[in-house]
Structure 1
């Protein structure tokens, strides 16, 4: 199959497929006499695996390691578990950060006085004041 067919079969953009090839996540396809790349069902399977790992926010490097384990069915899965554990730690840290961001935006939204002019908008005043405060704090470091 051609790259456009592989893209259609997996829902992965052609540019992304080429990127995964450059990152050695996907094996290079065979080439026909006319120079066209020919992808196999193995490419479909690997690309589906990569797509799923990426949907779990796995890095390219971690995805590559997990792919390597699929080629070694007898390998010890301790490293696989460690990769997933590390990913969970990253996700949990991001959740804490996102929760703090949510609270900050919620507080900011409460500054809204439902006025029709941006000149009197409480949100904009808070953003400008915060930006000015950060600029002043940074200014003192120079």
Structure 2
């Protein structure tokens, strides 16, 4: 199949397929006499594996290692479990950061009673001053993280 057909079948943009090829994640495909790339079922399955990994937040270097393992499986796959555990830790951190942000947005929302007098809008006043918005939070205080 040509690159456009593989893009359509996998939902991957043509430019991304070319990029993965350039990065060595996909093998250089054969070419037609007209110099069109030709891909087979194995190429499609490999691309789908790459796309699945990307949906799970894997970086290209990680995918490269996973592909090498997929091509030549070894008995010990402990490192794959460790890789997933690291990603779970990252997701946990992102969730905590988003919950923290949500808490501050909810607090910020409570600062405005609405109405037409924008000069007295508590949200706008709080956004003008980080101290007024989240000084109560050690994580967001102006001097947090400074030594």
Shorter-chain TM-score range: 0.7 to 0.9
Cα 1:101–1:34, aligned 2, differ >3 Å: closer, same or farther?
Answer: same
- TM-score norm. by structure 2 comes to 0.81
Cα 1:31–1:132, aligned 2, differ >3 Å: closer, same or farther?
Answer: farther
Q: Gaps (5+ residues) in structure 2?
A: 134-141
* CA–CA separation in structure 1 for the residues paired with 2:98 and 2:107: 14
Partner residue of 2:137? none
* CA–CA separation in structure 1 for the residues paired with 2:118 and 2:50: 46
* CA–CA separation in structure 1 for the residues paired with 2:70 and 2:78: 14
Q: Tell me how far 1:37 sits from its aligned partner.
A: 0.5
Does 1 or 2 have the higher relative contact order (CA < 8 Å, sep 6+)?
1
* CA–CA separation in structure 1 for the residues paired with 2:114 and 2:14: 46
- TM-score norm. by structure 1 comes to 0.83
* CA–CA separation in structure 2 for the residues paired with 1:20 and 1:53: 13
Cα RMSD, aligned residues only: 2.4
Partner residue of 1:104? 104
* CA–CA separation in structure 2 for the residues paired with 1:132 and 1:112: 13
Partner residue of 1:72? 72
Partner residue of 2:139? none
Structure number having the greater helix percentage: 1
Cα 1:16–1:119, aligned 2, differ >3 Å: closer, same or farther?
Answer: farther
